Amino acid sequence: MKLELTYAGDRLAAVELPKRPPADLTPDALRHLQTELAALPLQFPEASEFRQRVWKAIRRIPFGATVTYRELAAQIGHPQAARAVGSACAANRLLLAVPCHRVVASRGLGGFALGLEWKRKLLALETTGAAASQNITHAKTQRREGKTRSV
């Protein structure tokens, strides 16, 4: 997948993705890409303290997990600010490095800067990748405990 990365000095300032998600993007490739991006120092755009807090909280959402706009608002101490969280997500220029696709509406997906096709694809890949990772971890744990049952 071709990405366009914009830097401000030595900090990542923006990530641009293709208009449509590539059909051959795999869960492992997505996890690797997001791990690489998460390790880079980021340059958040000038924004309110609230938006900065939203973006930092989004970075803590694990691969394969989602939270609602309302849940994220409560996590940062503003339980009535679900719409403002959505606005912060819409202003995110660091796609994948700040994985705002993991923030969803209480009923449905909510929005995404590149459209719902991208959001569905990213969430599906992460769900598949997280489930596979859990199965491997579970199998290793059972082997260590001396069980031979297949999972």
What pLDDT score does 142 carry?
A: 44
The number of residues in the chain equals 151
What pLDDT score does 31 carry?
A: 93
**Pairwise CA distance, residues 146 & 142, whole Å:** 7
Q: Which position among 100, 103, 114, 122 bears the catalytic label?
A: 100
What pLDDT score does 131 carry?
A: 63
Kindly list the structural domains of the chain, giving each domain's residue range(s) and its CATH number in brackets, ordered by start.
4-144 (1.10.10.10)
- Mean pLDDT, each 10-residue run in order, the chain (151 residues): 93 95 94 93 93 96 96 97 97 96 95 94 88 49 39 31
What pLDDT score does 134 carry?
A: 53
Check if 100 is active-site: yes
Q: Which of 96, 97, 74 is nearest to 84 (CA)?
A: 74
Structure-derived torsion over alpha carbons of residues 97, 92, 119, 96, reported in degrees to the nearest 10: -10
Q: What's this model's pTM, rounded to 2 decimal places?
A: 0.84
